[in-house]
Chain A
Amino acid sequence: MLLPLKIAWRFLLDKKLQTILVILGIAIGVSVQIFIGLVSQGLEKTLVNKILAYNPHITMYSKSGGFSDWEKEADRIRSDFPEVEAVSPNVNSQAWIKLGKMTIPILVRGFNITDTERLYNITAAIYEGSSPVNDNEILLGKELAERLDVKVGDEVSILTLGRQTVTMKIVGLYDFGVTKINKAWVITNLTTAQNFIGFGDKVTEIELAINDPFQADVVSDQISSALSGEELALSNWKDQNQLMVSAIAGQKIVTLVIQFFIMLATIISIVNILTINVFQKSKQVGILKAMGLTDFSASLVFFYQALLLSLVGIALSLGFLVGFLRGFNRYIVTAQGSPVVNVTVDYRFIALSILIFFVVSMATAIFPALRCIKLNPIEVIKNA
């Protein structure tokens, strides 16, 4: 086995420029392919996270306006649908918050804060104070608090749809990282919100989080048919963000196609160079066969060349990839200086991409190897 490896090595060294070019091609092909895959994943994650930061995966409404037996429904969903990770009944109402002579429109949202953990993770978003425990305690978003110039412990007046004024105490400030939400949501507990709109102990919606957000439409349909006959309506984030969802799906497919063709081009370049190499080295191969090198060992020479090229190319591609990612995070940034897309280094994806490339490139080395097996020493010797 050692002689074919040694010959392969010498053949590569003998054509240094050719070898360097192929290795560069492999390194660029593999690294670019992985890089755009990572960017695509990051783009998807960034977009989905932005949407899902303030969107439940699935929302259940009652057609009659409110659920009175919401606790029963919530328990049923918790027990019947294991893929549902959070069930959060809530009460929402349009309202206004008073600032001097101005009133600013807001959305009062009453939750059982503990139920929302897998949905909004409100607790984690609180950067000052704590979550509401008692009635008439509220959380304000960062931008709204700044605009009102209030702090934790202050009291604010809120105007209901029924033109009543309620005084609430600020117990905490949150930041979801989405200005639109920070400005609008005033978060409180369920009873406060229920009292606020005189809703008894009904809730307006039940919001759900599921383990795979992309299954939202499927799970939504399942719940809908399981709970059919009742006054239920369901919506999911995918339906509400159809444009975004199809944009994400579209970019994923485009990325996949590009990845495929980069991979293909890279592999063709290896096979191509090895096939050329069989011709370039036909004299050597012919004489080696005449001297007793078996067809199998002769073909190993070309497998080893593919192996060496692939391994060196892959190693170099990892270096390139690090460079691409650094450059991307450094130069492709928003006005605030943070990367446009949050690219995370997915080691599994990288390993899988490299493995696929490696297996395919070694498998295609069979073509030059077959050519080499067919090579007849007599022809070579005759045509010297």
Chain B
Amino acid sequence: MPNVIELKNVNKIYGTRVKSQILYDINLEIEENSINSVVGASGSGKTTLLNIMGTLDRPTSGEVIIDGSNTKNMAQHKLAKLRNQAIGFIFQFHFLLQEFNVFDNVLMPSKIQRNNRTEVKERANRLLDMLGLYKYRQYNVLDLSGGQQQRVAIARSLINNPKIILADEPTGNLDLHSSEDVYNIFKQVNKEYGVAFVIVTHDKQLAGRVIKIQDGLLASRSARGWEGASSGRSPGV
């Protein structure tokens, strides 16, 4: 299966005077249509890894290949376009734009793309319907519950039909019931649209691959059990 994201020898070092290395020589491949959970202790670098995968952050060294294109020397506006087309983001907070209603929020990534076609509006309606939000289309986002807001954010992340969704603790702010909802939606979307997921999570590990970060190194558990995903030092599991 082709990879939607590939990390090659990615290192991340924060700080200039006092250097602290968060990621060591990471090599990681995210396959099309796969579900991946990223786990690890607080401060272990999960968010850092996800931001690098999403091209929001640049690695100190190493290469990030998104959907076949190497992002190493991409200009800012090219990266922006790549993010817009290939990646959907979901964060712990919904980050909806309070100035716009539910429907416009869902359409935002398509508007950035200057895609005004009727199909995209139909898609927005379909997504909202699937997420049980159809009747809230014209609501202001501030008038929704936390779970509903997060579901709007999910619809928004899907509107441009991305290859991959990166979710950083998407249920961190939700109660157990809403969290279950969100994970079920992820599974459904994965099945229906074939979108790959990388989900940073504290609480629950979804079925699929689990990527564990420890001491800046990765260990991955798949059907074959735990194995080192990094070519560097062997991780202490």
Interface residues of A (CB under 8 A from B): 2-3, 6-7, 10-11, 13-14, 283-284, 286-297, 377-378, 381-382, 384
Contacts and interface: CB of A to CB of B under 8 A. Distances in A.
A292 B57 contact: no
A379 to B, nearest CB: 10
Nearest to B159: A291
Nearest to B99: A10
A382 B111 CA distance: 25
A384 B84 contact: no
Contact of A292 (B98, B112, B168): B112
Interface string B34-70: 0000000000000100010010110000000000000
A370 to B, nearest CB: 14
B234 interface: no
Contact of B56 (A10, A284, A290, A297): A290
Contacts of B168: 381
B129 to A, nearest CB: 22
Interface stretch (B5-13, B74-82, B194-202, B203-211): B74-82
Contacts of B91: 381, 384
Given A384-B91, A384-B93, A291 B57 contact: no
A10 B111 CA distance: 15
Interface residues of B, number: 30
Nearest to A381: B91
Contacts of B81: 292, 294
3 cross-chain pairs, A with B, having the tightest CB-CB distances, nearest first: A292-B84, A10-B99, A287-B95
A286 B114 CA distance: 19
Nearest to A1: B114
B92 interface: yes
Nearest to B89: A290
Nearest to B166: A290
A284 B108 contact: no
Given A284-B97, A384-B93, A291 B77 contact: no
A286 B96 CA distance: 11
A10 B100 contact: yes
19 contacts: A2-B114, A3-B111, A10-B99, A284-B98, A288-B97, A289-B80, A291-B83, A291-B109, A292-B80, A292-B81, A292-B112, A292-B113, A293-B112, A294-B77, A294-B80, A297-B112, A381-B91, A381-B95, A384-B92
A90 B113 CA distance: 81
Nearest to B79: A292
Nearest to B97: A284
Given A377-B56, A378-B57, A384-B92, A293 B80 contact: yes
Interface of A is mostly: helix
A37 B84 CA distance: 51
Of A284, A286, A295, the most chain B CB neighbours within 10 A belong to A284
Nearest to A12: B99
A7 B81 CA distance: 19
Contact of A291 (B93, B112, B114): B112
B78 to A, nearest CB: 9
Nearest to B116: A2
A292 B95 contact: no
B3 interface: no
Nearest to A15: B99
Contacts of A292: 80-85, 109, 112-113
Nearest to A376: B56
Contacts of A291: 83-84, 89, 108-109, 112, 156
Contact of A3 (B54, B77, B114): B114
Contacts of B47: 382
A286 B54 CA distance: 14
Nearest to B82: A292
A61 B90 CA distance: 92
A3 B113 CA distance: 10
B143 to A, nearest CB: 15
Of A10, A292, A294, A378, the most chain B CB neighbours within 10 A belong to A292
Contacts of B82: 292
Contacts of A377: 56
A384 B95 CA distance: 9
Given A7-B99, A378-B51, A384-B93, A290 B83 contact: yes
Given A3-B114, A292-B81, A295-B77, 6 more contacts: A7-B99, A10-B100, A292-B82, A294-B76, A294-B81, A297-B112
